[in-house]
């Protein structure tokens, strides 16, 4: 048995965070601006290549929201977004009164299918008489998308791309950092991400002028008068100087965190290679793909039998599952019309009993009740993967012994 609970992806401190936080207290910079914020933005700028500008924000969701505003998205517009993702990729579209248009994934990377993307653009132009205002591809679980194909289509139709790299911090495609291909790139520093500020995010901007405009909206859209004058609606989205201090400390170990996740992925690939019915999702053999493996994922064959599988959905879930935080509504049913197969849920429960946190893959947005009336261009990939896939622990606190223990629990859970 594991001595301690093994979490999916828990933040790990570098030891330098306290130094930067103490500096903030010592200098009384306990506000959403200051030396730590400026230095953190510069660290991030260099990390993503040095050519783009960075605005540190309170959340990755805030970054998507502001990128949409900067892209001219307004009520009544449409925005194309990957369906296989977390809701933070699509909710900000609704904040603005616009409509998400969901595009399914291709099977190799699990990210936005370029062929469906172009089909969706053409069809929306035919049906609405105008182009979608933006395209939001996602680097699911840190896997690089086929971003060159996506960008070629976006450029052809002159539609700005907002890369959701919240899960893809440090991932690269063809040697270039994910989040730097499109007009804007989104980063997240939530407590379970590659680096953390406890909560926070950032927007990668194309130039200084774009950064200035994003900063304007992120600080309540204040005009230049000796009193508060507001001519546009703004938001309180800047990152605090305290949280930025944590981020500065985290940046000193960012490369180590990425390397650790890649190491854990390799261990899962090796240790599960001979387990019939379980496949570890790998990145394409094409050397342009260099993912961070934020979360390591597996799929279970439908025929695979897990001990206790007959009781997989015997009890309704009453609280948050899979590391989620906050308040949830109690479910009024054990089942929904789209859910993981019983063997996936059974394995999750087995791992839970053994002190191991795991979770299903993201439920596709086009299958979420809140988006039931939104257009969707589908090929069945994301829905089929959701039914058979799950995420395994991969964070900086996950040791080699933990991985061996997790794999051992998985093997023991398979009915002989």
Record the tokens describing residue 160, joined without a space: 């700005």
- Give the CATH number of domain 17-253: 3.40.640.10
Identical topology for domains 17-253 and 255-413: no
Distance CA 307, CA 127 (A): 50
Of the two residues 329 and 81, the one the predictor is more confident about is 81
* Domain-wise residue ranges, the chain: 17-253, 255-413
* Confidence check: pLDDT of 194 > 80: yes
CA angle 44, 48, 52 (to 5 degrees): 85
Report pLDDT for 1: 40
β-partners of residue 300 are 278
Give the residue from 394, 415, 403 showing the smallest Cα distance to 12. 394
- pLDDT given for residue 258 in this prediction: 98
β-strands 53-57, 78-82 pairing: unpaired
pLDDT band at 125 (very low <50, low <70, confident <90, very high): very high
From start to end of 11-169, where are the E strands? 53-57, 78-82, 99-103, 134-136, 162-164
Highest average pLDDT, of 14-18, 233-237, 332-336, comes from: 233-237
pLDDT value of position 21? 95
Asked if pLDDT for residue 251 goes beyond 60, the answer is: yes
Is the pLDDT score of 323 beyond 70? no
Average confidence (pLDDT) over 44-57:
98
Residue 230 clears pLDDT 80, i.e. is over it? yes
* Average pLDDT, rounded, for the chain: 95
3-state secondary structure of 196: coil
Terminal C-alpha separation, the chain: 21
- The whole-number average pLDDT for the span 174-203 is 97
Going by pLDDT thresholds of 50, 70 and 90, the confidence category of residue 357 is very high
Among 169-173, 327-331, 405-409, the minimum mean pLDDT is found in 327-331
Give the max Cα distance, the chain. 75
Residue 290, beta-bridge partner list: 172
Using DSSP bridges, classify how beta strands 172-173 and 176-177 pair: parallel, antiparallel or unpaired: antiparallel
Q: How many CA atoms lie within 13 A of 265 on its CB side?
A: 20
How does pLDDT run across 145-180, given as a tens digit for each residue?
A: 999 999 999 999 999 999 999 999 999 999 999 999
Report pLDDT digits (tens) over 14-36: 899 999 999 999 999 998 899 99
Share of the chain above pLDDT 70, in %: 97
- Report the distance separating Cα 16 and Cα 21, nearest Å: 9
Q: Could you tell me the sign of the dihedral formed by the alpha carbons of 341, 347, 353, 359, in that order? A: negative
Is residue 186 pLDDT above 80, yes or no?
Answer: yes
Does position 322 have pLDDT exceeding 80, yes or no? no
CATH architecture observed for domain 255-413: Alpha-Beta Complex (3.90)
């Amino acid at each position: 048995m594991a001595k301690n609970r093994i979490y999916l992806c828990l933040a790990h401190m570098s030891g330098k965070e306290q130094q930067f936080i103490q500096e903030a207290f010592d200098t009384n910079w306990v506000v959403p601006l200051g030396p730590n914020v400026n230095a953190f933005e510069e660290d991030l700028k260099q990390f993503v290549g040095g050519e783009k500008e960075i605005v540190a924000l309170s959340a990755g969701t805030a970054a998507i929201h502001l990128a949409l505003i900067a892209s001219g998205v307004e009520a009544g517009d449409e925005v194309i977004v990957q369906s296989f993702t977390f809701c933070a990729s699509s909710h900000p579209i609704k904040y603005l009164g616009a409509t998400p248009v969901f595009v399914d994934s291709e099977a190799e990377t699990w990210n936005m299918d370029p062929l469906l993307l172009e089909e969706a653009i053409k069809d929306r132009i035919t049906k609405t008489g105008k182009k979608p205002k933006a395209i939001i591809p996602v680097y699911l679980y840190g896997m690089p998308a086929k971003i060159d194909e996506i960008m070629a289509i976006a450029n052809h139709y002159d539609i700005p791309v907002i890369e959701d790299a919240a899960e893809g911090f440090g991932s690269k495609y063809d040697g270039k950092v994910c989040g730097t291909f499109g007009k804007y790139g989104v980063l997240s520093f939530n407590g379970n991400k590659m680096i953390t500020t406890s909560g926070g995010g950032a927007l990668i901007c194309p130039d200084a002028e774009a950064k200035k405009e994003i900063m304007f909206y992120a600080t309540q859209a204040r005009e230049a008068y000796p009193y508060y004058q507001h001519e546009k609606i703004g938001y309180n989205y800047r990152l605090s100087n305290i949280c930025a201090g944590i981020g500065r400390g985290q940046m000193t170990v960012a490369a180590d965190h990425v390397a650790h996740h890649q190491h854990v992925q390799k261990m899962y690939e090796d240790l599960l290679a001979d387990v019939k019915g379980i496949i570890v999702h790998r990145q394409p053999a094409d050397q342009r793909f260099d993912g961070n493996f934020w979360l390591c994922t597996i799929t279970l064959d439908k025929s695979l039998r897990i001990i206790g599988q007959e009781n997989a959905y015997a009890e309704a879930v009453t609280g948050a599952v899979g590391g989620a935080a906050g308040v949830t509504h109690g479910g009024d049913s054990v089942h929904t019309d789209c859910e993981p197969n019983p063997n996936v849920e059974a394995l999750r429960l087995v791992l839970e009993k053994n002190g191991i946190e795991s979770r299903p893959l993201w439920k596709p947005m086009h299958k979420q009740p809140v988006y039931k009336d939104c257009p969707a261009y589908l090929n069945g990939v994301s829905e089929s993967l959701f039914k058979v896939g799950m995420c395994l622990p991969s964070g900086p606190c996950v040791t080699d012994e933990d991985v061996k223990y997790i794999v051992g629990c998985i093997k023991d859970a398979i009915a002989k």
